[in-house]
Amino acid sequence: MARRAAEYRAAGRRIIDLTLGEPDFAPPAHAVLAAQEAAARPLGYAPANGIPELRQAARHALERDRALSYTDAEVAVGCGAKQVIFNALFATLGPGDEVIIPAPYWASYPDMVRLCGAVPVIVPCSAESGFRITPDTLEAAMTERTRWVLLNAPGNPSGATYSHDSLTGLAEVLRRHPSAMILSDEIYAHIRYGEGEYISIAQVAPDLHERILLVDGVSKAYAMTGWRVGWGVGPAELVRRITAVQTQNCTQTATVSQIAAVAALEGPQELLAQRCATYRQRRDAALAILQQSRHLDTLEPDGAFYLLPRLAKGDDLTAANSLLEAGCATVPGSAFGAPGHLRLSFATDIASLEEGCRIIVATLDGIPA
Ligand SMILES: Cc1ncc(COP(=O)(O)O)c(C=O)c1O
């Protein structure tokens, strides 16, 4: 849809683009400066699991933000969270292995699992459950072939987060299935609207330490998607295998990007809260418009920068096509295992966002914008 929106624009049409899955902010100035300085120095190959300074900065950030301790051998750096996730799956999956993916899900998960020759097991999570997997639905999906359970909170595209209690319930199920690993994708952990600290399953279930790979990166929190830096922390043996895969595909993520990521992690952190406040304003402005529609039911997301309204009638692909014709690009929920929904990104300026939401409401409700 983003590509089609760009084509329409190139043809001279005015299109509000609510498809984007990346922050519209600039990277922190101190990260850019660190990269500029580093780029002037000779930078050769660096370790496949990341420069030591970045592994340390990632560990310190987890200690600071989530009170979690890891050793240096438990950190693997890759070209974004995406590559770390792929490497982990590739390093561990074989034919017939199953990976549990709660839906709605980030569109890449099922394809990555299939690329590894394994089977994605999609577990639908209803709007009524806040788009969260429950202990019962998790238990029902587990088999002796389950190798991984993928958790993502705040979720893309739902924005759902898990409370301490809900993670405790999931951990109880996971304890009964010791051969399954848990991948906790926490790339949106810094973009949250609720009170209190972010809670990771790694904090709630320290006894599962040897089975949890926690994934994070600089893409969303620090608006550094194009710099391609992410990391995974987990058991040293898994990290060793992730690093073995990394070594034989792209060697390492760019050293200059890693140096910028160190600066982002270790520099002033105030911008995280400031940006969250901006996202919250946008979320509320968009919700105020969308909730006027008779044809949409929109939950308030706890985190990330997406809204996932449910269509009262009709299919999401047809709706997204009509909306594009009307001047607003959205993504059909089917791409995320959420048919009958649309994903709208609010990582865009508030005026465009409001205009886009008004087009959506007017088009779906059949009234002039
Ligand atoms: C849930 C989720 N995980 C991971 C990623 C990828 O992050 P990175 O840019 O660090 O590869 C994204 C990007 O859209 C995402 O939405």
Give the range of the structural domain holding residue 222, as residue numbers without chain letter.
41-266
**Does residue 36 lie within any of the structural domains?**
no
247 and 311 both lie in a single domain: no
| Ligand 1, CB within 6 Å, residue ranges | 21, 80-82, 106, 152, 156, 185, 187, 217, 219, 225, 230
336 and 217 both lie in a single domain: no
Atom of ligand 1 nearest to the CA of 229: 10
- The tokens 């699991």 sit on which residue? 49
260 and 279 both lie in a single domain: no
72 and 203 both lie in a single domain: yes
Residue 50 Cα to ligand 1 middle (Å): 18
| Residue 17: strand pairing partners | 329
Tell me which of 234, 251, 266 is where a domain ends: 266
Residue 231 Cα to ligand 1 middle (Å): 11
Tell me which of 235, 266, 297 is where a domain ends: 266
Q: Could you tell me the CATH number of the domain that includes residue 99?
A: 3.40.640.10
- Dist. CA 3–CA 62, nearest whole Å: 36
**Does residue 32 lie within any of the structural domains?**
no
Residue 249 Cα to ligand 1 middle (Å): 19
312 and 254 both lie in a single domain: no
Q: Could you tell me the CATH number of the domain that includes residue 284?
A: 3.90.1150.10
182 and 293 both lie in a single domain: no
258 and 280 both lie in a single domain: no
Atom of ligand 1 nearest to the CA of 21: 14
Closest CA to 171 of 195, 149, 145: 149
Closest CA to 81 of 150, 158, 162: 150
Q: Per residue of the chain (369 residues), what is the pLDDT tens digit?
A: 888 999 999 999 999 999 988 999 999 999 999 999 999 999 999 999 999 999 999 999 999 999 999 999 999 999 999 999 999 999 999 999 999 999 999 999 999 999 999 999 999 999 999 999 999 999 999 999 999 999 999 999 999 999 999 999 999 999 999 999 999 999 999 999 988 889 999 999 999 999 999 999 999 999 999 999 999 999 999 999 999 999 999 999 999 999 999 999 999 999 999 999 999 999 999 999 999 999 999 999 999 999 999 999 889 999 999 999 999 999 999 999 999 999 999 999 999 999 999 999 999 988 655
State the total domains in the chain.
2
Q: Up-side HSE of residue 327: CA atoms within 13 Å toward CB?
A: 16
